[in-house]
Amino acid sequence: MTKVKFCGVSRPCDIEAANELRPEYVGFVFATGSHRCITPEKAKELKQMLSRDILAVGVFVNEMPEKIAYLLDNGIIDIAQLHGHEDEDYIQSLRRLTNKPTIKAFRIESKKDLEAAECCIADYVLLDSGAGTGTTFDWKLIKSIRRPYFLAGGLSLDNVKEAITMLHPYAVDVSSGIETDKLKNKAKMTAFIEAVREEGQV
């Protein structure tokens, strides 16, 4: 069954909703340019509230590997998601600091982008339309991918069933699609995860 990641959670009520709905992942955004950005201190507070069955993913853009490794090794996050210009050397340097898993995000605009994602040494890849743009990309570009991936970019209740039927991604990653006025909305979170699980039972 396709897994679910609620990205950009930032409040205790978001964690309470996640604990009830049981996505496999939640995302804490540490990229300072995002309105969803939280501090490491806030992330620690939220992580302590989070069910142990749900993995916390830290989202970073061109962050120092040492800072990411600290958050991983101190249990504030479980996985690092890299959304900037981090290359293979960067991922290797992070691996020398910690043995925790990584997700590398790729903006998919052409088959060349897909080839880069296929070859990436990160534990997982995330295929997106861009950094938090809230829009989809041409899904036909990724139908041939051979490795498991997180699908992101413009996902919502309106299109997630189609995405799963067409692509069978390892996980779907949603943020703006479960928000109202830039804040997580429990009703939308509920409807989204129910749609994913319903599709997985067909």
What would the pLDDT profile of 21-45 be if each residue is shown by its tens digit? 999 999 999 999 889 999 999 999 9
CATH architecture of the domain 3-200 equals Alpha-Beta Barrel (3.20)
Q: Is 128 a catalytic residue?
A: yes
Position 181 scores a pLDDT of 96
pTM for the predicted model, two decimal places:
0.94
Distance CA 192, CA 142 (A): 22
Q: Is 13 a catalytic residue?
A: no
Distance CA 116, CA 38 (A): 30
Check 14, 78, 120, 128 and give the catalytic one. 128
What residue spans define the domains of the chain? 3-200
Which parts of the chain register pLDDT below 70?
130-135, 200-202
Distance CA 28, CA 201 (A): 29
Position 138 scores a pLDDT of 87
Q: Where are the beta strands (DSSP E) in the chain?
A: 3-7, 25-29, 55-60, 79-82, 102-107, 124-128, 149-151, 171-174, 179-180, 183-184
Nearest partner of 65 among 95, 32, 103, 28, judged by Cα: 95
Position 162 scores a pLDDT of 95
